[in-house]
Amino acid sequence: MPKPQTTYDAIVIGAGIAGAAIVKSLKNNKISNFLVIDQGASEATKTSAHAEALCHPYIGRGASRLQRLTFMAFNEARHVWATSWRGDGVFHLPRTQDGFSKDLMSERLLSQGFSPEKAIPLSQAEALRMLNVNAGGTFFPEGGWVNIQQACQETFECVPSAQKRWSTEVAKIHYENGHWVVLDSQLEQIAITKRLFLANGLGAKKLANGLNVDLPLKPVRGQLSRFRFKSDTTWSTHIPKVALSGKAYCLPPSLVEKDCYEWVIGSTYNEGIDDLSRWPESDLENSSLMKEMLSLSSIEEELQAHSAFIGVRCVASDRLPIIGPVDGCPGLYTLISLGSRGVMWSALGSQMFTEHLAHEMAHSAFFDARFFAGARLAAAGLTADLAATLGAARFLAGASNSKLILPSG
C-alpha cells in the first residue's frame, strides 16, 4: 500500500539553534502546519548542545559589512534569545595592548554607530579597578552569553510531538509538482512541503549537492574547556568580574564547591577537522591564551582541566552565514554556516525570515531570488548590499545576486 502523503506548509531540517530560529519565524507568521526533522534523539544534540555561547558586537576597522551586520544582529539576539541570556556585560580586549588608546577607541566606536553607554572604552587602570582585569579594552554592558541548548529546548518544547521527527536522517530532497519531497535514508518519503528550510549545518552540503548546488562549507572543530582552581591559588586573585573576549573568551569564574572555582575558557579553532574527542592540547591552548590575554605568564600552577564541550562549527569559505531563499529553488531557504557566531546569526536569520515570509504570504508567491525586508529591519540597517552578502547566490555561478526589496515609503 502506498503511504498517505503528508503535506506541510513548512519543513525544517535541523533542530539546533538555526532550526529553533526558523520555528520562531514560522510562528511569528502564524504558520502552524510545519514539521521539524533531526537525526539526533532530541533537539540540540550537536553543535548547539552548548550552554555558554558568548555574544557581543564586533569592532571593525571601519564600518565594514561584517561590522554593520553584527551591530544589527547583536540587537536582534538580545531580543530573540532574551530568556536564555546571561551575564552582566562583556569586556573585549584587543589582540595586543601596544598602541591601545582609550581616546582613539572612543572615536572609532562612535564612527561605527556605538552610543557611548553601549560601548565603553576603559584604560588599563580603569579596567583593573572596575573589572579586575589588567588590560585596556572595550566594555559592552549589554553583552553576555546564551545557553543555546536551553534556547532550543524552550523553543521545541512548544512544538507538538507529532510535528517533531527525531532520530530521522534526511538523505535526499527534490522538487516535484510545486512541492519539496523529503526522503529518509531508505529513500522512503517522509513528507512533502511548500517550504523547506535547511537548518542542518554541514548536513546541508550533501542535500544541496543533490540539487546541483555546491555550497562551500567546511567543518571547524572547537573545544571549550572547563577548568577548576582552588581559592588559595594565585589564579583566584585574577578573577575577572565579567565575561572576557579577545584571543580567547571566558565567562567569569563561579564557585562550584567550597574553595573551588570553575572557569569556562574557549575556544580552539581547528579548520577542516570534525573529531569530537577531547584533546588535552586544546585545554592547554585555551589556558595559555587566557594567560596571555591577562598577562599572567608568571603564574606557575596550571589550571586543572575538568571537562569540556567539543563541537564542530559549520563555516562557509567567506566566514559569513548563508541566510535566505536559494536562487532557482522556489520555497527552499537556508540558515546555515553560523560559524562561531551562532547566537547572533540565528537571531538575525529569525528576524529576516519573519519579515520575508510575511511578504511572501501577502503575495501568495515565492520570491526565490530576492529577500524582503520589512520596515523594522530596513530601519535597523538591513540594506540591499548586506542582504546580498548573506544570500546563497554569492556562491552560485550564474545566479543573479540576491536583491533586497525594501518596504515602500
Ligand X SMILES: Cc1cc2nc3c(=O)[nH]c(=O)nc-3n(C[C@H](O)[C@H](O)[C@H](O)COP(=O)(O)OP(=O)(O)OC[C@H]3O[C@@H](n4cnc5c(N)ncnc54)[C@H](O)[C@@H]3O)c2cc1C
Task: Please give the residue ranges that form the binding site for ligand X (CB under 6 A).
Answer: 13-19, 37-40, 45-48, 50, 53-55, 148, 169-170, 199-201, 203, 222-224, 266-267, 309, 311, 313-314, 338-344
Q: Judged by CB, which is closer to ligand X: 43, or 355?
A: 43
- For residues 348 and 357, which CB has a smaller minimum distance to ligand X in the complex? 348
Q: Rounded to the nearest whole angstrom, what is the least distance from the CB of residue 196 to ligand X in the complex?
A: 12
Nearer to ligand X (CB atom), residue 119 or residue 344: 344
CB 149 to ligand X: min, Å: 9
Q: How far apart are CA 194 and CA 370, in angstroms?
A: 17
CA 293/CA 237 separation, integer angstroms? 15
- Residue from 55, 120, 44 nearest 82 by CA: 55
The C-alpha atoms of residue 62 and residue 139 are separated, in whole angstroms, by 19
d(CA 330, CA 369): 9
CB of 230 to ligand X, least distance (A): 26
Question: Cα Rg for the chain, rounded, in angstroms?
Answer: 22
Smallest gap from residue 168 Cβ to ligand X (A): 6
> Angle of helix 17-28 relative to helix 148-157, nearest 10 degrees?
40
Nearer residue to ligand X within complex by CB, 5 or 209: 209
Burial, 373: exposed, middle or buried (Cβ in 10 Å; 0-12, 13-18, 19+)?
A: buried
Query: Residue 189 Cβ, how far from ligand X at the closest point, in Å?
Result: 14
Nearer to ligand X, 55 or 369 (CB): 55
List all residues 6 or more positions away from 61 whose beta carbon is below 8 Å from its beta carbon.
Answer: none
Nearest distance in Å: CB 147, ligand X: 11
Q: Decide whether 227 or 309 has the Cβ nearer to ligand X.
A: 309
Place of cell 573589572: 131
Q: Which residue, 18 or 373, has its beta carbon nearer to ligand X?
A: 18
Q: How far is the CB of 182 from ligand X (least distance, A)?
A: 9
Closer to ligand X at the Cβ: 13 or 332?
13
- Using alpha carbons, select from 214, 279, 288, 218 the residue that is nearest to residue 250: 288
- The string of DSSP letters for 162-218 reads GGEE-S--EEEEEEETTEEEEEETTS-EEEEEEEEEE--TTHHHHHHHTTT----EE
Compute the distance between CA of residue 91 and CA of residue 143 in angstroms, rounded to an integer. Answer: 8
Shortest CB 122 distance to ligand X, Å:
22
Minimal distance, residue 66 CB to ligand X, in Å? 14
| 3-state SS assignment for residue 224 | strand
User: What 8-state DSSP symbol labels residue 82?
Assistant: G
Instruction: For 385, list phi and psi in degrees, rounded to 5.
Output: -65, -35
In this complex, which beta carbon is closest to ligand X, that of residue 50 or of residue 370? 50
Cell numbers of 201, please? 549545518
